[in-house]
Amino acid sequence: MNSKVPVAVLISGRGSNLQALIEACRDPEFPAEIVKVISNEPDALGIVRAEAEGIPTVVVSHKGRSRDVFEEILLAHLSDVSFVCLAGFMRVLSPTFLAAFPERILNVHPALLPAFPGLHAQRQALQAGVTQTGCTVHIVDSGVDTGPILCQGSLAIHTDETEDQLSERIRKLEHVLLPMSLRWLAEGRVFIEGHRAQVVLRDGEKRWWVETD
Ligand code: GRF
């Protein structure tokens, strides 16, 4: 009997976070299973990654469709899932879509929110001259990168680091934090109180993963 919680992953591109989720789900003890990968971009590398694993994939282009119609199609493909992970999914979801998965949609963002929401967060951090940045996994609400925070990973920005180099190092944090957060959610250990997420941690488990290189 499969007691894993069914999850869909929404992507738009490279899918390295999807790959991290796929690898986490291989562990028989991991509480979730990816039952579907949906991309709004037909050429997303993540689609290839999912197909290589035998995970059902769907491409739903946002182009030439209203957001309502786009989301209706997405929702029709999500009728059999309990949670949704946004892993580099580059569309903003409407309150109608969110209402179908209340407090059950995760997103990973490449900055220490609430700093640098929106696009090009790594570039924003470099341009601002901050010395620390990182990534955030949060529950999706109707704002852009504003939902309750589950965990964050931080790193020190290197001197003369390029946007690509920084993005690559941030991804390494994301690949740990996103599966960890999905585990918490699938195990029913996340409780939203107001705008804050409380996570019931096990003995020795860390909520904050701090990288110091
Ligand atoms: C990640 O940096 C994530 O934080 C952002 O989009 C990027 C997706 O990368 N939301 P990938 O497609 O998972 O490699």
The reported pLDDT for the residue numbered 203 is: 86
- In the reported structure, the alpha carbon of residue 4 is separated from the centroid of ligand 1 by a whole-number distance in angstroms of 25
> What's the rounded Cα separation, in Å, for the pair 169 and 137?
16
> What's the rounded Cα separation, in Å, for the pair 140 and 138?
6
- In the reported structure, the alpha carbon of residue 176 is separated from the centroid of ligand 1 by a whole-number distance in angstroms of 13
Select from 12, 16, 21, 138 the residue to mutate for testing ligand 1; criterion: most ligand atoms less than 8 Å from CB.
16
Ligand 1 nearest atom to the CA of residue 18, by list position: 13
The reported pLDDT for the residue numbered 178 is: 97
pLDDT tens per residue, the chain (213 residues)? 579 999 999 999 999 999 999 999 999 999 999 999 999 999 999 999 999 999 999 999 999 999 999 999 999 999 999 999 999 999 999 999 999 999 999 999 999 999 999 999 999 999 999 999 999 999 999 999 999 999 999 999 999 999 999 999 999 999 999 999 999 999 999 999 999 999 999 888 877 655 545
Verify whether residue 109 is a known catalytic residue. Answer: yes
CB of 67 shorter than 6 A to ligand 1: no
> What's the rounded Cα separation, in Å, for the pair 76 and 39?
14
The reported pLDDT for the residue numbered 212 is: 47
> What's the rounded Cα separation, in Å, for the pair 157 and 212?
10
C-alpha closest to that of 181 among 164, 201, 161: 201
CB-based burial label for 160 (10 Å; 0-12, 13-18, 19+): exposed
> What's the rounded Cα separation, in Å, for the pair 59 and 34?
16
Ligand 1 nearest atom to the CA of residue 12, by list position: 12
CB of 174 shorter than 6 A to ligand 1: yes
The reported pLDDT for the residue numbered 206 is: 74
CB of 88 shorter than 6 A to ligand 1: yes
